[in-house]
Structure 1
């Protein structure tokens, strides 16, 4: 899942070396924390959050971790 998130975000940003994806697991959910360079945050979120919503849709559709819910947090 980390590779999927990185492959989606890499073409969108100017500083691909600063992309960091961390995974946090809890009882009923898995949270992926996406951190990008400060200048690239707007590019990843997009106008009115459209790009962020599209990224989340793809990540949620690719869910492979059983019954746990997946969340994507963009910082």
Structure 2
């Protein structure tokens, strides 16, 4: 089926597509903010377990709101 056929069927049955809103930035850095120092110099290999520990946070949109996942 091509695009026109799908559009025709959707119009016939009163179906419309859903357009998501644009994403907004969650964090805005301060104008005078100084970046944190890179203490591990992007070298994530370690000689033994527990020598280098790093963390991260991510935001996941769900039907009930934002889910914050931190590691």
Fold in common (TM above 0.5): no
Structure with the larger RCO, 1 or 2 (CA within 8 Å, 6+ apart): 1
Which one has a larger percent helix, Structure 1 or Structure 2?
A: 1
TM-score (norm 2): 0.24
Which one has a larger percent strand, Structure 1 or Structure 2?
A: 1
